[in-house]
A and B are shown apart, each in its own frame.
Chain A
Amino acid sequence: MSDNLKEDLELIKDRLDKLENKLEESHGEFSHQTGKSVGRDIGILYGIIIALLFIIIMLKFHII
């Protein structure tokens, strides 16, 4: 294997490593964002239920 070819291969490997890292980061970030949006939607439903229960309890004890 010639020196030039070796150097080129090393360069390609370095670039592939960088690409691999970026891909992993993007994949992780994408998963995080997806999880967050799903969690937020479900959380809003929980929040509405908790707030309604809160209002009912307040009305029951004539606080409002």
Chain B
Amino acid sequence: MVDKKEVIQGWPLETGDYSVGDSECPVAVVTLGSKMNDEVVGRGAAIAGPLHTENLGIEKVVTNIVSNPNIRFLIICGSEVQGHITGKTVEALYENGIDPETKSIIGSPGAIPFVENLPIEAVERFQKQLTIISMINNENLDEISAKIEECKANDPGAYEEDAMIVQLNEKEEEEDSEDSTFDLNASSSSAIDSSAIHMLEIETRIRSMKLEINEIGSLEKFSSGYYAGKVEGIVIGFILTLVLILIIFWSMGL
């Protein structure tokens, strides 16, 4: 029997679209763009939920994992989220960590991979505490279940350090508590940083919507051209065939 640690009260600390099972189980599952929380938790995972964004979503995943030292494996499965590429971003976070200055995930293919609310210690703890199992674009529940069982069989026990509690809104709270007259510059620059990231995300989404609208427009043009061409082709084909057959009949002397 491996050692387990008592789970802190109120775990998982961050809210989200997830399901919670046995909190002493060593396996957490991220289902990326697929929604199968209850099915996965029903097959033995401690926590399971989708991951749609490569910034705020990953911050929540890391916070909830490092606050439970019993979790030693993270299975990444389900369909990859287009544009955000959250699965590969979690892998990049695990393998490369973050840039301490820009707080961007090194080597992430996602659009806006910034984890500005996450301290570097939490990322290091995430890297040390876990083993990542990549099953990206796999939605087969039997295979996921088999992997969960395999992880449970290889459970090394709880991580030696206690639960790490990360306050994602720490910066804002600190700023609120300080004297606002002396801290105007600091708070406004942080707000600008945060809003710039949100604006960037909005811009990316607008761009992708615009692309889709353009695609619909070009499809519409294609179908109108197809219809016009078809009518033209029917007339050409009909006349040419008639002329050809009449020539054949005439040459045969009929």
Contacts and interface: CB of A to CB of B under 8 A. Distances in A.
Contact of A31 (B222, B229, B232, B236): B222
A36 B237 contact: no
Interface in B214-245: 214, 217-219, 221-242, 245
Contacts of B230: 39-40, 42-43, 46
Contacts, number: 106
Interface string A32-56: 1111111111111111101110110
A2 B225 CA distance: 49
A32 B237 contact: no
Contact of A35 (B229, B234, B245, B249): B229
A4 to B, nearest CB: 25
A24 interface: yes
A64 to B, nearest CB: 8
Contacts of B231: 39, 43
A34 B233 contact: no
Contacts of B214: 24, 27
Q: Which 4 A-B pairs have the closest CB atoms?
A: A43-B233, A47-B237, A39-B229, A35-B225
Given A35-B225, A51-B238, 14 more contacts: A31-B218, A31-B219, A35-B228, A40-B229, A41-B229, A43-B229, A43-B231, A44-B240, A45-B233, A47-B236, A47-B239, A47-B241, A48-B237, A50-B237
Interface of B: 214, 217-219, 221-242, 245, 249
